[in-house]
Structure 1
Amino acid sequence: MKTVYHAADSRGHANHGWLNTHHTFSFGSYRDARRTNFGVLRVLNDDEVAAGRGFGSHPHDNMEIISIPLEGDLEHKDSMGNTTVIRQGDIQVMSAGTGVVHSEKNKHADREVKFLQIWVFPNARNVTPRYDQLAMDADKETNAWQQVLAPQAAAVAGTVWIHQDAYFSIGRFDAGTHTDYTFNKAGHGVYLFILEGSAEVDGQQLGTRDGLGVTATERFTLIAGPEGARVLAMEVPMN
């Protein structure tokens, strides 16, 4: 098994006043040739958006974009005609394909919204843009990996899908719990991101917002720390 560790405080950081953001991989003005991507996982941004503020209309193409609100709610509008609210506990996907314009705004005027913005390279270019979202079942992530995203061919009830051979799972583990993760496909890697608490994998201690890439294995064991852990696992092709 091979691992690559990214401490939370080693991420790129920018505070624009209305947006306080941390970048696991190179993004915007943050550039690190050693941290451009993890396989087809291109962007992992940890965003805080001020009350009533947000991202104005802007374009994307040929990228799979995933948003996961961690606190608060986001209002989404796009050129496909969607006007929705992405709430804490939801997962949203957007295939930009041939091109889409969208905006995201903090729904609340009295508090921040915190969400993960994730970009994945697609396995097909110039697809028809599409949008989907669902409310994740919090009960299913208790001491287990709840799969929330999969490729189209493997998507089942309770998952969204993207144009890539990727699998995302979220688990909330009690203190001291040992949990195995088994890869869906040979040659994939898993990037773990600690949403809450702490954990250990292969002797590596992980705190909140730390990241760990795991490759060259078929499975690994995660041990939740003394305060428990909530973890996002992003399994992706490495080429």
Structure 2
Amino acid sequence: MNTVVHKSDSRGLADHGWLRSRHSFSFAGYYNPDRVHFGALRVLNDDIVAGGQGFGTHPHDNMEIVSIPLYGDLEHKDSTGTGEVIKTGDVQIMSAGSGLRHSEFNHSKDDEVQFLQIWVFPKERDIKPRYEQKSFDIESRMNKFQTVVSPDDESALWINQDAYFSLANLDAGTNLNYEVKKPGNGVYFFVLNGDVAIAGESLLSRDAVGVSESNSVELKAKSYAEVLAIEVPMDIQ
């Protein structure tokens, strides 16, 4: 088992007033040669956007982009004609593929919205751009992993990669194993809240550990904890 630990306060920081963003991997003005990606996982941004503010229309191509609101609502528009509001409890995925343009704004004029913006390198390039979102039952992830993004699970959002996103809400004292779904994949565990040991590493809110060369990873919740597991291929072309 190989592990890499990223503590919350070691992440990059961008504060633009209307936007406060913490970067787990090199992004925009933040560059760390040791933290460019974890396998096919390229970006994990923890964004807080002020009321009435957001990201104006901009282009993307050949990237799988996942957005997960943590609180508040996010308004999305793109060049495929999609216009949706992504609410807390929803997960959104966009395959940029051969190219599209999109914008994301705080749906509220007054309250902040916080969301995770996650990019994964695609398996197949230049596919037709696509958009999908889904609301997931939080009770279905209590003390177990709930898969929300997958290439082969019809109950989850489809992704153009051999990657899996799973969420778990753990009561204090819960022990849980994450079983790797595809041999050779690694898993990046991002603690949303709480105090939890993962792969023997003691982690607090917004800490992370990347685990590779292991088929199973043990989690032990020391308090109530919420965890996002991002499983991705470690070998990228």
> Which TM-score band (shorter chain)?
over 0.9
Displacement of 1:198: 1.4
Deviation at 1:237, TM superposition (A): 0.3
Q: Which runs of 5+ in 1 are unaligned?
A: none
2:208 — aligned with what?
A: 211
Aligned to 1:99: 99
- Does 1:234 find its partner at 2:204? no
Residue number in structure 2 paired with 1:200: 197
Give me the whole-angstrom Cα distance separating, in 1, the residues matched to 2:52 and 2:222. Answer: 36
What is residue 29 of structure 1 aligned with on the other side?
A: 29
> How many Å apart are 1:202 and its aligned residue?
2.9
Residue segments in structure 2 that go unaligned for 5+ positions in a row: none
CA shift for structure 1 position 203: 2.4
* Residue 180 of structure 1: aligned partner: 177
CA distance in 2, matches of 1:155, 1:182: 15
Read off the aligned partner of 1:79 and give its amino acid letter: S
1:137 counterpart letter in structure 2: D
Cα shift readout 1:126-168 (whole Å, capped 9, x = no counterpart): 10000000001111100000010101xx1212x1011100011
Q: Describe how 1:69-88 pairs up with structure 2 within 5 A.
A: 69-88=69-88
Equivalenced residues, count: 235
1:139-178 matches, within 5 Å, as 139-151=139-151, 154-157=152-155, 159-178=156-175
* Distance in 2 between residues matched to 1:186 and 1:75, nearest whole Å: 37
Distance 1:19 1:50 in 2: 6
How far apart are the structure 1 equivalents of 2:198 and 2:55?
36
Work out the CA distance in 1 between the residues paired with 2:214 and 2:36: 22
Q: What are the equivalent positions in structure 2 for 1:57-72 lying under 5 Å apart?
A: 57-72=57-72
Q: CA separation in 1, counterparts of 2:219 and 2:28?
A: 32
Q: Distance in 2 between matches of 1:202 and 1:181?
A: 10
Aligned AA for 1:84? E
Q: For residue 175 of structure 1, what is the amino acid of its counterpart?
A: A
- Give CA deviations for 1:33-80 in whole Å, capped at 9, x if unaligned: 000000000000000000010000000000000000000000000000
1:128 maps to 128
Deviations 1:189-231 (A, max 9, x none): 00000001110023210000001001111101100123x1100
CA distance in 1, matches of 2:101, 2:199: 42
Structure 1 CA distance for aligned equivalents of residues 47 and 37 of structure 2: 18
How far 1:186 sits from its partner (Å)? Answer: 1.0
Secondary structure in 1 matching 2:188 = strand
Determine helix, strand or coil for the equivalent of 2:195. Answer: strand
Give the TM-score normalised by structure 1: 0.97
